[in-house]
Amino acid sequence: MLSVHSCGCCRVFAARAIQFQTTPSLFFSTPNYKSRVGTARRVAASSGFAGDSGSDLRQETIADTRTNYAGVRLEETVDNGIRSGKLRLDSWISSRISGISRARVQSSIRAGLVQVNGRVVDKVSFNVKAGDEISCTISELQTLRAVPENIPLDIVYEDEHVLVINKPAHMVVHPAPGNTSGTLVNGILHHCNLPNVEYSKEEALSNTEDSDDEFNSFYTNASSCEGLSSRPAVASIRPGIVHRLDKGTSGLLVVAKDEHSHMKLSEQFKLRTIKRVYVSLTAGLPTPVAGRVEVPVGRDPNNRLRMTAVAGPLNPRKSRHAASRYKVIEILARGGCALVEWKLETGRTHQIRAHAKYLGVPLLGDEVYGATRSMVLSLLRPRTPSGLHSKIVQMVSRIDRPCLHALTLGFKHPHTGQEVHFSCEPPADFDEILNQLRKISNEGAFFTKHSIS
Q: Is 134 in contact with 74 (CB distance < 8 Å)? A: yes
Residue-averaged pLDDT of the chain: 76
CA distances from 182 to 30, 68, 144, 235, 406 (A): 21, 27, 14, 27, 21
> What is the spatial distance between Cα 206 and Cα 91, in angstroms, rounded to a whole number?
16
pLDDT at 195: 67
Stronger pLDDT, 102 or 325, i.e. the higher one: 325
Alpha carbon distance, N-terminus to C-terminus of the chain: 34
**Pairwise CA distance, residues 72 & 43, whole Å:** 6
Task: Tell which residue, 66, 137, 136, has the closest CA to residue 99.
Answer: 66
Intervals of CATH 3.10.290.10 along the chain: 72-138
Specify the pLDDT at position 147.
85
pLDDT at 58: 32
The residues carrying an active-site annotation are 246
Mean pLDDT computed over 113-122: 95
- How much is the pLDDT for 201? 52
Residues 6+ away with beta carbon under 8 Å from 424 = 9, 10, 11, 156, 166, 251, 252, 406, 407, 408
CATH 3.30.2350.10 range(s) for the chain read 141-207+238-269, 272-452
Nearest to 261 by CA among 347, 163, 193: 163
Average pLDDT (225-238) is: 30
Domain 272-452 grouped into CATH 3.30.2350.10: yes
Average pLDDT over residues 77-91: 80
Instruction: State the greatest distance between any 2 C-alpha atoms of the chain, in Å, as a whole number.
Output: 83
| Secondary structure, 3-state, the chain | CCCCCCCCCEEEEECCCCCCCCCCCCCCCCCCCCCCCCCCCCCEECCCCCCCCHHHCCCCCCCCCCCCCCCCEEEEECCCCCCCCCCEHHHHHHHHCCCCCHHHHHHHHHCCCEEECCEECCCCCCECCCCCEEEEECCCCCEEEECCCCCCCCEEEECCCEEEEEECCCCCCCCECCECCCCHHHHHHHHCCCCCEEEEHHHHHHHHHHCCCECCCCCEEHHHCCCCCCCCCCCEECCCECECCCCCCEEEEEEECCHHHHHHHHHHHHCCCCEEEEEEEEECCCCCCEEEEECCEEECCCCCCCEEECCCCCCCCCCECCEEEEEEEEEEHHHCEEEEEEEECCCCCCHHHHHHHHCCCCECCCHHHCCCHHHHHHHHHHHCCHHHHHHHHHHHHHCCCCCEEEEEEEEECCCCCCEEEEEECCCHHHHHHHHHHHHHHHHHHHHHHHHHC
**CA–CA distances in Å: residue 355 to residues 184, 264, 346, 441:** 26, 29, 12, 26
CATH superfamily of 141-207+238-269: Pseudouridine synthase (3.30.2350.10)
Whether 340 and 312 have beta carbons less than 8 Å apart is answered as no
pTM as predicted: 0.67
Task: Report the C-alpha gap between 192 and 196 in whole angstroms.
Answer: 12
* Over residues 1-13, mean pLDDT: 41
* Type of residue found at 382: P
Q: For the chain, what's the residue count?
A: 453
- What integer is the mean pLDDT of 395-406? 96
Q: Is the dihedral of CA 209, 214, 220, 221 positive or negative?
A: negative
Question: For position 421, what pLDDT does the model report?
Answer: 97
Backbone angles phi, psi at 196, to 5 degrees: -60, 155
Q: Is the pLDDT of residue 318 over 80?
A: no
Q: Kindly indicate the confidence band of residue 200, based on its pLDDT and cuts at 50, 70 and 90.
A: low
257-275 confidence digits (pLDDT tens) = 887 888 899 899 989 999 9
The count of other CB atoms within 10 Å of the CB of residue 44 is 11
Q: Between the CA atoms of 228, 204, 65 and 81, what dihedral angle is there, to the nearest 10 degrees? A: -170
The pLDDT of 129-157, averaged and rounded, is 88
- Say if residues 164 and 413 touch (Cβ distance below 8 Å): no
Which pLDDT value is given to residue 260? Answer: 86
pLDDT band at residue 197 under the 50/70/90 scheme: low
What percent of the chain shows pLDDT beyond 90?
Answer: 49
Question: Which superfamily does CATH assign the domain made up of 72-138 to?
Answer: RNA-binding S4 domain (3.10.290.10)
Pairing of strands 404-412, 419-424: antiparallel
Residue 345 predicted with pLDDT over 80: yes
Given this model, what pLDDT does residue 7 score?
A: 40
Q: How far apart are CA 125 and CA 86, in angstroms?
A: 10
Quick check: bond before 296 cis, omega within 30? Answer: no
pLDDT recorded at residue 206: 40
